[in-house]
Chains A and B, each alone.
Chain A
Amino acid sequence: GQNIDQPTEMTATEGAIVQINCTYQTSGFNGLFWYQQHAGEAPTFLSYNVLDGLEEKGRFSSFLSRSKGYSYLLLKELQMKDSASYLCAVREEGGSYIPTFGRGTSLIVHP
């Protein structure tokens, strides 16, 4: 099984940078996803990391350290529309390969 931990809530200021952490424990790691979910809407895919290091996509970057069971999502130049929940999900080797989601981090961006 998996144990995924994220902060429940974070606040930040428009234009700033915020880092949302995700730690996990798994018997056989096989990939980590980040999703964004606005209130009342579907989750949308942000990133997928399977190797160590930083993946950059525009204002969003995702980092993975498999040895530490740790990932973070970095959001730069925050905008009001970035206020949403950010979900970390981990795939495990064997079985169904279906990712398990963490409870998500609610990010509130203030003007």
Chain B
Amino acid sequence: DTAVSQTPKYLVTQMGNDKSIKCEQNLGHDTMYWYKQDSKKFLKIMFSYNNKELIINETVPNRFSPKSPDKAHLNLHINSLELGDSAVYFCASSQDDSFNYGYTFGSGTRLTVV
């Protein structure tokens, strides 16, 4: 019954590889997000997506691309992985008209690029 689930939980891969992280939410929320949390614990927005609009943080390299097959899923694809991409990636969702409940985060994917 996990509200926001993402897989895999851990991902170790070599530089230059292409990888994907999957995210699914069963809350019926309107909007989904991807955040990156670096080694200093700074949580930065990467993408926001609902059925109307994709909002991209302009600082995110175009090697990162979100793909949403439907309202309940927002996957993250990463091409040509670099050492600096090592971080914890969190998926989240929210209901646009109910900020009193905040965002619901997935458990995170710890990506290590070697």
Mark A residues whose CB is within 8 Å of B: 31, 33, 35, 37, 41-46, 48, 50, 85, 87, 91, 96, 98-101, 103-104
* Contact assessment for A85 and B107 in the assembled complex, using a CB-CB cutoff below 8 Å: no
A35 CA to B92 CA, complexed, in Å:
13
Do the beta carbons of B43 and A98 come within 8 Å of each other? no
Decide if A96 touches B90 in the complex (CB within 8 Å): no
- By beta carbon, the residue of chain A nearest B105 is A42
Range of interface residues on B (Cβ < 8 Å): 20 to 34
Q: Which of A41, A85, A99 has the most CB of B within 10 A?
A: A99
Known interface pairs A96-B48, A98-B55. Does A31 touch B41 (Cβ–Cβ under 8 Å)? no
Which residue of B42, B45, B101, B107 contacts A42 across the interface (Cβ within 8 Å)? B107
Q: How far is the CA of A37 from the CA of B107 in the complex (A)?
A: 11
CB distance from A66 to the nearest CB of B (A): 16
SS class, residues of chain A in contact with chain B: strand
Residues of B73-106 at the interface with A, using a CB-CB cut-off of 8 Å, are 90, 99-106
Q: Is B52 an interface residue (CB 8 A)?
A: no
Query: A42, B43: Cβ atoms under 8 Å?
Result: no
The 6 A-B residue pairs with the shortest CB-CB distance, nearest first, are A45-B102, A42-B105, A101-B43, A96-B55, A43-B105, A42-B107
Contact partner, A104, options B41, B48, B99, B100, Cβ 8 Å: B41
- Verify A42–B102 contact, CB threshold 8 A: no
| A19 vs chain B, min Cβ distance (A) | 21
Instruction: Evaluate contact between A42 and B40: CB separation under 8 angstroms.
Output: no
The residue that B48 contacts in the complex, of A45, A46, A50, A98, with Cβ under 8 A, is: A98
Q: A41-B107, A42-B90, A43-B90 are in contact. Are A101 and B42 (CB under 8 A)?
A: yes
List of B residues within 8 angstroms of A98 by Cβ: 33, 45, 48, 55
